[in-house]
Every structure is written in C-alpha cells, then in structure tokens.
Amino acid sequence: MTIHSPHHGDTDFALAHGRALRHIDVVLPEGAPRSSAQIILDLFEAANELLDGVQYRVRVCGLDMLSSGPAGARPRSLVVFLGDIHSRWQLSPKERARVNQVMRLADRSAFVGGAVFLLDALARGDDHDLAIHPNFLASAGECSLRQDQDGAATAVSGTVHSAICNFATPRMLLDIVAADCGRLAADGMAHYLGLDTGKRPTKSRVALNLEQKSAGDTLITQCLAVMQDNIEVPLSVATLADTLNVSTRCLQRRFTRHFDRSPLSVYRALRVERAHQLLTQTDIPVRQVAVATGFGSYQSLSQHIRETYGHSPDVIRRSAFRGVAPETMRPRRFRQSETTALEPRTM
C-alpha cells in the first residue's frame, strides 16, 4: 500500500513546489495486519499537512516485497521495521540479504518492539543503544543488543532509531521529523496531534504552520494567538499592534518578511479555516457561521470560502453531511505572485 502525500492547503501558506521528497518503507512481519501501521500513516499524513519543507510518501509492505535485486536499490529516507511486543523477529538467510541491502541504502532505520532483534541477526547491534521492551530484556542481554542507559521508550543512536512498541512509535517518528525539519516543527506536530503533554492552548493547523514558517518568531506567535481569540469580531491592524505593544508598521513588516502577506490576509486565513470547521463539523446555520467568523454577511463568507475551497458554503455543508469530501474541496494554495500591495483592506 502506498500512501501519497495529502493535499497541502492554501491556508497553510506552503509553496506548491520545492518540497524535499522522503520515501519511507514500513515493513511488517509475516502475518501482521496492515492496520498495525495506521498510526505511522496518520502521523506522516499530518506532517504533510503541516510542514512546508518535506513531503513524505509511505509504503507499507512485508519482507516478501523487499527485493534483494536491482528493484531493492530504490533510495529510502527511512525504513521502519514494525515488530510486536510478544515475539522476536527472526530472519531466514534470504530475508537477511534483503534486509541488509535495504538498511544499507536507507538514510535511517527504525526498529519497533521485537524488530530490534533484526540488528542482532545482521550483526549490527553492537554499536547502538536501543529502546528495548521489558518483555525482551532477558533475551536481549544474551545477544549483542544494548539497552539505552535511560531505559526510555524511544532511543536514537546515530541513524538507528528504536521504540519499545507501536504505541511509542509516534515519539520515535517525531525525532525523525525533527532531523528533517527542525525541533520547532516536530514540537508543533506533537502539540497538534495531542502528543505534547504540556498545558498549552490548542492551536489550529493554519496557526501551527505559520509559526513553523516564521521559525518561532515570538511576535508572530503572540499575534496569531490574539487573532484566534478574536475571530467573531476581528481587530484592526492598529488594535493588534497596540495589544502587542508594537507599532503598526513594525507588525506589518514582520508579517511581510515571513509570509509575504499582510496581517489582514493571515487573519482572514484563520477565519476562513474556522468557518470551514463550523460548516463541516456543526449544524449551525450558514448565515450564523458568517457572523461567528467575522464576515458579517453570507456574501462575504461565500466569496472567501469559494476563493479558498472552490465551492460555496452551502455545497460544503451539504457534502459534509453526506460524508462526501470531493477532491475539488481541498483548499487551493495562495499564488506566490500575489502581493500584499494588491490585497483589499476590508476584513
């Protein structure tokens, strides 16, 4: 099964091109259900939605689909061997050749649960500190496998990542995202997916994407928080600036530098996102959605929803209640050629 990257939304201000492609293989032991890899697929789908710099393509397969011939030479950014917590993953001589080649060609390798024993079978375990599930500690001690000194649920040792079980896999994968895109991006994803145990306020996908694009600029983060707290009655740029104790010109320059967008354009993107959520997740009348998101009238809401999602609010509402999500309803990207100078000043 190959999962291509999900569609990148207009409202996340991502460039359509220039994203580094990362091929990932998730390898399952014989008899394992494909559904066991769903958490990995979901995480990388979220990464494709949130992050600008990379695009992940994930394939789920068994060892029998790993070729030791020329077809196995396909470059991979990551190969994940997804074991369980009950049995050691063992290899036949033929499988050993396949796994050895795949690991040699991959930029990074990851081992979950009983898959850590693959390192012993390939005589690759001596130099790595690993996350080993308690069920396997005794047998790992008889092999060449060494537990991470902290006994943590995940471990990183050079290009080798490990997790004690499938439930610890998201944390392991976030370390890989951090290596690709930076710790700020990985932390933002953790918060978005509920993996961040801190009691910070929840942020929308658009806001998280913008924060990542601004490299964690404190003023941008604070401004986005104020905007999200004032969706129904939008504030003027001057009021936003006063709230943040900066000049209007300073605030405008900061948004232009990071996004090539005015504060009003970013504010509008947050409101459009909220309107789309209300249209697809609630039965609030469409005209009340317009009021609740600061557009004031159905005509204004319809204009901006159409520009972003390609359909009227009524069509989106009907489709949501029928459980239909046509491709054309994915938000289109902002055109990079658009400039803030051409943006209307109305909210």
CATH number at residue 29: 3.40.50.880
Do 18 and 157 lie in one domain? The reply is yes
Beta bridge partners, 54, equal: 20
**pLDDT mean over 332-337:** 40
**pLDDT mean over 102-128:** 88
| Residue 155 is assigned to a structural domain of this protein | yes
What span, in angstroms and rounded, lies between the C-alpha atoms of 236 and 120? 62
Do 76 and 135 lie in one domain? The reply is yes
10 Å CB burial of residue 227 (0-12, 13-18, 19+) is buried
Mean pLDDT across the chain: 82
Q: Tell me the percentage of the chain whose pLDDT exceeds 90.
A: 41
Do 231 and 156 lie in one domain? The reply is no
pLDDT score recorded for residue 283: 85
DSSP one-letter code for 327: G
Residues 42-74: pLDDT tens digits? 999 999 988 877 899 999 988 877 764 455 556
Q: How confident is the model at residue 247 (pLDDT cuts 50, 70, 90)?
A: very high
| Residue 195 is assigned to a structural domain of this protein | no
Q: Where are the beta strands (DSSP E) in the chain?
A: 2-3, 20-28, 54-62, 76-82, 106-112, 129-130, 146-147, 154-157, 160-163
Beta bridge partners, 111, equal: 81, 162
Q: How confident is the model at residue 270 (pLDDT cuts 50, 70, 90)?
A: very high
Do 157 and 61 lie in one domain? The reply is yes
Last residue of a domain, one of 151, 170, 188: 188
Residues 164-190: pLDDT tens digits? 999 999 999 999 998 888 888 888 888
Q: How confident is the model at residue 15 (pLDDT cuts 50, 70, 90)?
A: very low
pLDDT score recorded for residue 213: 85
Do 273 and 307 lie in one domain? The reply is yes
Last residue of a domain, one of 172, 188, 204: 188
pLDDT score recorded for residue 264: 94
DSSP one-letter code for 342: G
Q: Which residue has the higher pLDDT, 6 or 291?
A: 291
Do 239 and 174 lie in one domain? The reply is no
Q: Of 51-60, 117-126, 209-218, 335-344, which gets the smallest average pLDDT? A: 335-344
**pLDDT mean over 273-283:** 88
CATH number at residue 309: 1.10.10.60
Beta bridge partners, 341, equal: none
Run of H or E including 24: strand 20-28
pLDDT at position 79 over 50: yes
| Residue 208 is assigned to a structural domain of this protein | no
Do 157 and 262 lie in one domain? The reply is no
Residue 119, domain extent:
2-188
Last residue of a domain, one of 188, 205, 234: 188
**pLDDT mean over 185-197:** 80
- Phi and psi at residue 205, in whole multiples of 5°? -60, -40
Q: Tell me the percentage of the chain whose pLDDT exceeds 70.
A: 82
pLDDT score recorded for residue 5: 37
pLDDT at position 6 over 70: no
149: helix, strand or coil: coil
State how many domains the chain has. Answer: 2
| Residue 198 is assigned to a structural domain of this protein | no
Pairing status of strand 154-157 against strand 160-163: antiparallel
Do 13 and 115 lie in one domain? The reply is yes
pLDDT score recorded for residue 340: 36
What span, in angstroms and rounded, lies between the C-alpha atoms of 115 and 140? 11
Do 262 and 141 lie in one domain? The reply is no
pLDDT at position 93 over 70: yes
Residue 163 contacts residue 112 (beta carbons within 8 Å): yes
182: helix, strand or coil: coil
What span, in angstroms and rounded, lies between the C-alpha atoms of 189 and 168? 15
pLDDT score recorded for residue 262: 93
pLDDT at position 254 over 90: yes
Do 219 and 182 lie in one domain? The reply is no
Do 155 and 229 lie in one domain? The reply is no
| Residue 196 is assigned to a structural domain of this protein | no
pLDDT at position 4 over 60: no
| Residue 180 is assigned to a structural domain of this protein | yes
| Residue 109 is assigned to a structural domain of this protein | yes
Do 325 and 254 lie in one domain? The reply is yes
Residues 205-243: pLDDT tens digits? 888 888 888 887 899 989 999 999 899 999 999 999 999
**pLDDT mean over 269-286:** 90
| Residue 194 is assigned to a structural domain of this protein | no
